[in-house]
Structure 1
Amino acid sequence: MNPLDTPLDILVVSPHPDDAEISVGGTIIQSLRQGKRVGVVELTNGEPTPRGTIERRKSETELATKTLGLTWRHQLDLPNRSLENNLSARRKLAAIFRLTRPNVILAPFWEDAHPDHVAASALTDAARFWSKLSRSDIPGDPFHPPRIYYFWSIHLRIHPKPAFVVDISDAIDQKMEAVQCFASQLIEGRSQEHPTLIDDIRDRARYWGWTIHSRYGEAFASREELRISDLDHIG
């Protein structure tokens, strides 16, 4: 497995297809508009679900990828609903980190109602450490992603105070367009009375925007201290 010609600036670790769009779609769009290289690695194909198929989820993901304009996307095909932070999964994800060599990883928050999201968070932490190990059987050269931040999904209703909130006001419409690409999961078979699940996703972004005196936002946690060099750039 050879590294990309140009490393990614940001890599989103998404437990299932649609998690990246729902949780950090606005941040992805804003970063791409700034000229950053942004990728998504999905840990599972997300199936089975009541109205999805592997083929349909794949086509929905392809449409969302085009809507976002992602630099790179890959799926690891780890087991949906049975995701574990085991040695085999850790090795596969560490290899992706070595391949893409991102400056920033965005990963699920470590507390969640969905077991796959909890496992994905622990797996990301472990793979990040494994990625830097020399004398290992992991493909690629050792690499330690410098920064990791954590995002919340739609499964957790009460969020701890975030470390920072990204203003996505100018990206909200494109984010919601990408979210709605996953109709089998977020629209079909669900109540269309207001508020719908789509409304809920937009309203959460509105709430985080309100916390930073803006229209829309996406929140992130950090286990590590954040370095700043200019107090004027803190909102």
Structure 2
Amino acid sequence: MKLDILAFGSHPDDIELSCGATLAKEVSKGKKVGIIDLTRGELGTRGTAETRDEEATNAANILGVNSRINMQFADGFFQNDKAHQLELIKMIRYYQPEIIICNAVDDRHIDHPKGSQLVSDACFLSGLKKIETIYKDESNGQEPWRPKAVYHYIQWKDLTPDVVVDVSGYMDKKVASVLAYKTQFFDPNSKEPETPISSKNFTDSVVYRARNLGRLIGVEHAEGYTVERYVAVDSLFDLK
């Protein structure tokens, strides 16, 4: 399945929290979008891997993406090594995305920068002809594929973005996709332990951080990304 955008998250809900509105906007424009979660979030304090599976499916349906799969890497313990890189290379070559979006380059949770670098390295390696891979029951080996661009979304830490996307009009879908993770976020009736992301302040931050980025570029809401190479435009007039 050829995709326009393939978004990676170390845990289910990383993508919804950080680039959910961007994906919803591109889906509305007819782009084919897929999601790959590296882990099931099984070490999360609240909920279980099984509840996260169900929540991730519901969130994907809200965003309207074409596919979502889980690599089932070990939450907290996956490594940026050959074995994990090869598994991601298979997926990149299978979906052949033009653009890849992945975790923040620096963040509070150790899996976020680790996942960020793992995906970035796999994108480079995926373009090397002498790395041979076969996906599932395919009889022939996969062709090399390297995306045109890799963008890293912003998570807990307020990193300075290199690119800001106007997502005005798509925050309702983003918020709905986040709240699909009922076990993870603010619920005054929950008996689960409190976590840094279970407070009302954190849930509110999903909107007010997007509103603040929007304010800085003169729109209602925005999501920010860091890049791995210079962003090129054909004309200064292409910049808003």
Under a length normalisation based on structure 1, what TM-score does the superposition of the two structures give? 0.91
- Cα offset, 1:129, TM superposition: 1.4
Pick one of 217, 220, 223 that aligns with 1:215. Answer: 220
Aligned residue in 2 for 1:159: 159
Aligned residue in 1 for 2:150: 148
State how 1:62-77 maps to structure 2 within 5 Å. 62-77=57-72
- Give the whole-Å Cα distance in 2 for the aligned partners of 1:149 and 1:104: 8
- Cα offset, 1:66, TM superposition: 0.7
Pick one of 16, 25, 37 that aligns with 1:21. Answer: 16
- Give the whole-Å Cα distance in 2 for the aligned partners of 1:54 and 1:177: 20
Aligned residue in 1 for 2:53: 58
State, as a whole percentage, how many aligned pairs show the same letter.
Answer: 29
Aligned residue in 2 for 1:202: 207
How big is the alpha-carbon RMSD for the aligned residues of Structure 1 and Structure 2? 1.8
**Do the aligned residues in 2 keep the contact of 1:134 with 1:142 (CA within 8 Å)?**
yes
- Cα offset, 1:197, TM superposition: 1.8
State how 1:69-88 maps to structure 2 within 5 Å. 69-88=64-83
Q: State the SS of the aligned residue for 2:169.
A: helix
Q: State the SS of the aligned residue for 2:183.
A: helix
- Cα offset, 1:48, TM superposition: 2.3
- Give the whole-Å Cα distance in 2 for the aligned partners of 1:176 and 1:200: 11
Pick one of 90, 94, 105 that aligns with 2:89. Answer: 94
Determine whether 1:40 maps to 2:35. Answer: yes
Q: State the SS of the aligned residue for 1:185.
A: coil
Q: Which runs of 5+ in 2 are unaligned?
A: 135-141
Q: State the SS of the aligned residue for 1:186.
A: coil
Pick one of 109, 125, 131 that aligns with 1:130. Answer: 125
Q: State the SS of the aligned residue for 2:152.
A: strand
Q: Which moved more, 1:132-141 or 1:182-191?
A: 182-191
Under a length normalisation based on structure 2, what TM-score does the superposition of the two structures give? 0.90
Aligned residue in 1 for 2:230: 225
1:141-167 CA distance string (max 9 Å, x none): 1111111111111x21x312x221111
Question: Number of residues paired by the alignment?
Answer: 227
**Do the aligned residues in 2 keep the contact of 1:84 with 1:116 (CA within 8 Å)?**
no
> What amino acid is aligned across from residue 53 of structure 1 in structure 2?
T
Aligned residue in 2 for 1:172: 171
> What amino acid is aligned across from residue 180 of structure 2 in structure 1?
C
- Cα offset, 1:196, TM superposition: 2.8
- Cα offset, 1:194, TM superposition: 8.4
- Cα offset, 1:138, TM superposition: 2.1
